[in-house]
Amino acid sequence: MKIYEFDYKLPEHLIALKGKEPRDLSKLLIVIRKLKDFIYKKYAPLNSLYLKEKKVKIVFSKYNIKDISFFKLLKNPSLWEYPGIIIDKFLNLPFYLAREDLIVLNNTKVIPARFKIPEKENWEIFLVSEEEKPYIKDGKVFAKWQIIGKPGKKLKPGKTFVISEDIKIHILSYLEEGKRLALIEIKTSEKNPFFAFINALFKYAQIPLPPYIKRSLTYEDYQRYQTIYAKEYGSVAAPTAGLHFTKRVFKALDLKNIKKAFITLHVGLGTFRPIKVEDIEKHKMDYERYKIYPETYELIKETKKKEKAVVAVGTTVTRCLESAFDENLNIKSFEGKTNLFIYPGYKFKVVDHLITNFHLPRSSLILLVSAFAGTDLTLTAYKIAMENKFKFYSYGDAMLII
């Protein structure tokens, strides 16, 4: 399987430079892998009044797509074997889920991870993933992190970069793929090492917006580049599928008795890097730390027992759940690290539906989506999204795959 099979060309004006306000007015592309399953399992009286006159694109192939109303679709069972695509707003997500489905969200919180090096124009150090939790020694706080930076050739082991009189970054050793192991040294009067570390980041570092957002960081980004349920600091990039949720969406889900549960997976940069090898099987994912809460495990077991759907909010939740469970849906580990690489051919054990954004070409994320929906249907959905002026990438619109 070659990486060029997962390429597409995106007009630059469709890259989202800021998030939609309110969040839940983002567009939603509902991708139904088999219309018959949706009609039998999801189409309930609560849905019918809303969906009856909705337009559905029946997908026969990339080049043969037919527009039809949902009402007419119901009268034509011969079309139920095909995939279908509906265009809507994220606010209406609950119409496409069934009672007692379970939504699983990643409650990780983005940290300021980009340090500008004083008096060196365009020099920076970027935290990638935590290697060792912060600790106190000799009245100072220390934290070990994997980092990248520019210019990379200047980040040599033994070098120390002074960010301010309160914080220094010591380069310890080389790691693979341009990364370094670094020790962050912080002067502080704070007694809790974790709080000292986080406070120093907010004082001396910046929220790490993706490089394709070509504008200056704003104060609003510190709120908008977090989910409203973010709780556990540790990510260097947002779990972007969750950025669309609002209190009113959660309230609508509650009214339909759609349950929610949380995991924590701290997102690293490796998830978003383009794949550089031609044969995708040779690509290696970076490790990311995860935690599954006991109550989440119990809700997943209960949902599966009732033959309801586990809905993963994002590729990070998907990788976490698929890593932590075995084929019999027994949990292997409540806490750990995963470098699971999901690409077409992978058999999903836990996740039944997926909420996700539109991802970079040639990335591990579009490969995961293609594994879930099928490569042809995924690229067809992307084509329809572009034709309907959906916004792409981190601050962009969303897709629900059923």
Q: What is the CATH number of the domain that holds 98?
A: 3.40.1780.10
Q: How many domains does the chain have?
A: 2
Range of the domain at 40: 3-108+229-401
Q: Is residue 163 assigned to a domain? A: yes
pLDDT at 121 over 90: no
- Between 127 and 45, the more confident residue is 127
- Exposure letters 144-158 (e unless 16+ CB within 10 A, then b): bbbbbbeeeeebeee
Which of 206, 239, 269 is a domain's end point? Answer: 206
Mean pLDDT for the stretch of residues 94-105:
96
Contact 337, 292 (CB under 8 A): no
Residue 187 in domain: yes
Q: 369 and 283, same structural domain? A: yes
Residue 10 within a domain:
yes
Same domain? 103 vs 133 = no
- Same domain for 249 and 196: no
Q: CA 370, 64, 91, 49: dihedral to nearest 10 degrees?
A: -130
Q: Do 63 and 90 reside in the same domain of the chain?
A: yes
What's the pLDDT band for 296 if we cut at 50, 70, 90?
A: very high
In this structure, the answer to whether residues 173 and 198 fall within a common structural domain is: yes
Q: Among 233, 363, 343, 339, which residue's Cα sits nearest to residue 288?
A: 339
User: Is residue 261, in this structure, part of any structural domain at all?
Assistant: yes
Q: First CA to last CA across the chain, in angstroms?
A: 25
Q: How far is CA 401 from CA 151, 246, 374, 394, in A?
A: 40, 20, 11, 18
pLDDT digits (tens, 9 = 90+) for 198-225: 999 999 999 999 989 999 999 999 999 9
14 and 101 within one domain: yes
- What is the average pLDDT score of the chain? 95
Rg from Cα positions in the chain: 22
Residues 260 and 154 reside in one and the same domain: no
The region that residue 389 occupies, defined by phi over 0 for left and psi between -120 and 50 for alpha, beta otherwise, is left
> pTM for the whole thing?
0.95
Residues 184 and 319 in one domain: no
Task: Assess whether 181 and 39 both reside in one domain.
Answer: no
Residue 340 sits in the same domain as residue 255: yes
Residues 36, 78: one domain?
Answer: yes
- In this structure, the answer to whether residues 309 and 383 fall within a common structural domain is yes
Q: List all residues 6 or more positions away from 397 whose beta carbon is below 8 Å from its beta carbon.
A: 16, 20, 26, 27, 28, 29, 90, 357, 358, 385, 390, 391
- Please report, for the domain that includes residue 199, its CATH number: 2.40.10.240
Instruction: State pLDDT tens for residues 130-149.
Output: 999 999 999 899 999 999 99
The reply to whether 285 falls in a domain is: yes
